[in-house]
Chains A and B, each alone.
Chain A
Amino acid sequence: MSSFSVTEPSNRTKWFAGTLVILYAVITMIPLVWIALTGFKSPSDAIAYPPKYVIGSDSEAGFKPTLEGYVNLFTTRTRQTQEFLDANPPENWADEIVRQYDMVIVGPSKFGERFLNSVIIGFGSTFLSVFLGTLAAYAFSRFKIPLADDLLFFILSTRMMPPIAVAIPIFLMYRQLGLSDTHLGMILLYTGVNISLAVWLLKSFIDGIPTEYEEAALIDGYTRFQAFYKVVLPQAATGIASTAIFCLIFAWNEYAFAVLLTTANAQTAPPFIPTIIGVGGLDWPAIAAGVTIFLLPVMIFTILLRKHLLRGITFGAVRK
Chain B
Amino acid sequence: MSDRALDRVAAATPQPVARKIKGLSDRAIAWIFVAPTIFLLLAINIFPLIWTIRLSFTNYRANRLNREPEFVGLRNYERILTDSDIWLNMQATAHFLFWTIFFQVLIGFTLAWLINKKFKGNDLWTTIIVLPMMLSPAVVGNFWKFLYQPQIGLFNYIVGFLTGKDPSSFEMLGQVDLAPWAIVIVDTWMWTPFVMLICLAGLRSIPDYIYEAAEIDRASKLRQFFTITVPMVLPFLMLAVLFRGIENFKMFDLVVQLTGGGPGSVTELTSINLKREAFEKWRTGYASAYAIILFVTVFGLASIYVKALNKVKER
B118 touches A162 (CB 8 A): no
B134 touches A249 (CB 8 A): yes
A317 to B17, CA, bound (A): 36
- Which residue numbers of A lie inside 8 Å of B, CB to CB? 5-9, 13-15, 17-18, 20-22, 24-25, 28-32, 34-35, 38, 46-51, 132-133, 135-136, 138-140, 143-146, 155, 157-158, 160-173, 188-189, 191-193, 195-196, 199, 215, 218-219, 221, 223-226, 228, 249, 252-256, 259-260, 269-271, 273-274, 284, 287-288, 291, 294-295, 298-299, 301-303, 306, 309-310, 313-314, 317-318
B39 to chain A, nearest CB (A): 9
B23 touches A223 (CB 8 A): yes
B253 CB contact (under 8 Å) in A28, A219, A255: A255
B139 touches A22 (CB 8 A): no
Using CB atoms, name the residue of chain B closest to A245.
B134
A164 touches B291 (CB 8 A): yes
Known: A143-B13, A145-B9. A295 touches B135 (CB 8 A): yes
Known: A196-B41, A270-B139. A140 touches B34 (CB 8 A): yes
Known: A135-B37, A143-B13. A284 touches B146 (CB 8 A): yes
B51 CB contact (under 8 Å) in A29, A132, A169, A224: A169
A165 touches B52 (CB 8 A): yes
Could you pull out 29 A-B pairs where Cβ atoms are within 8 angstroms? A18-B117, A25-B129, A31-B143, A46-B152, A136-B34, A136-B36, A144-B9, A160-B246, A161-B49, A162-B252, A163-B250, A164-B271, A169-B48, A169-B51, A172-B51, A195-B37, A218-B21, A219-B17, A256-B252, A260-B275, A269-B139, A271-B138, A273-B139, A295-B139, A309-B134, A310-B127, A310-B197, A313-B194, A314-B198
Residue B142 lies at the interface, judged by CB distance under 8 Å to chain A: yes
Residue B43 lies at the interface, judged by CB distance under 8 Å to chain A: yes
B48 touches A170 (CB 8 A): yes
B295 touches A143 (CB 8 A): no
> CB-CB < 8 A to A146: which residues of B?
5, 8
CB contacts under 8 Å to A, within B238-276, are: 239-240, 243, 246, 249-250, 252-253, 257, 270-271, 274-275
A215 touches B146 (CB 8 A): no
Residue B130 lies at the interface, judged by CB distance under 8 Å to chain A: yes
Q: Which of B25-33, B71-79, B84-92, B94-102 contacts A (4 or more CB under 8 A)?
A: B25-33
A317 touches B198 (CB 8 A): yes
A31 touches B147 (CB 8 A): yes
A143 touches B12 (CB 8 A): yes
> CB-CB < 8 A to A274: which residues of B?
138, 142, 257
Residue B211 lies at the interface, judged by CB distance under 8 Å to chain A: yes
A81 to B82, CA, bound (A): 61
Chain A binding site: helix, strand, loop or mixed by DSSP? helix
A219 touches B120 (CB 8 A): no
B294 touches A28 (CB 8 A): no
Using CB atoms, name the residue of chain B closest to A11.
B119
A35 to B145, CA, bound (A): 11
A199 to B40, CA, bound (A): 12
B236 to chain A, nearest CB (A): 7
B41 touches A165 (CB 8 A): no
> CB-CB < 8 A to A309: which residues of B?
130, 134
Chain B CB within 10 Å, residue with most, of A34, A309, A313: A313
> CB-CB < 8 A to A9: which residues of B?
117-118
A28 CB contact (under 8 Å) in B119, B189, B275: B189
B12 CB contact (under 8 Å) in A8, A29, A144, A284: A144
> CB-CB < 8 A to A218: which residues of B?
17, 20-21
Known: A146-B5, A169-B52, A274-B257. A255 touches B137 (CB 8 A): yes
A83 to B192, CA, bound (A): 57
> CB-CB < 8 A to B128: which residues of A?
25, 28-29
